[in-house]
Amino acid sequence: ERLDYHQYIVFPAGLNAHITANKNNEATKVQKAPLRDADVVVYSLDVAIDSEQLRSVNALLSYVRNFALKDTLMLSRPAI
């Protein structure tokens, strides 16, 4: 099942960014201060999906786990 056909609700999210820029002069060279500094905090991103979409995601995860298990078993078998 294709997951790109599903629609998801993304609730409002936020971020906090502080940017500092110093001029390149003698004081910044003596203090070895960075010319640019950015601090960015991104808050949690909440997504809402319905139960049918959740079933599809669980089916995809199950398929990937089974494939990885079978792949590991095939790699561990001796060559004929």
- Best CA proximity match to 45, nearest among 76, 2, 66, 15: 15
Residue matched to tokens 């060559």: 79
Element (H, E) at 47: strand 47-48
The model carries a pTM of 0.41
Look at residue 34 in the predicted model and tell me its pLDDT. 85
pLDDT, tens only, 12-26: 889 999 998 888 888
Look at residue 40 in the predicted model and tell me its pLDDT. 92
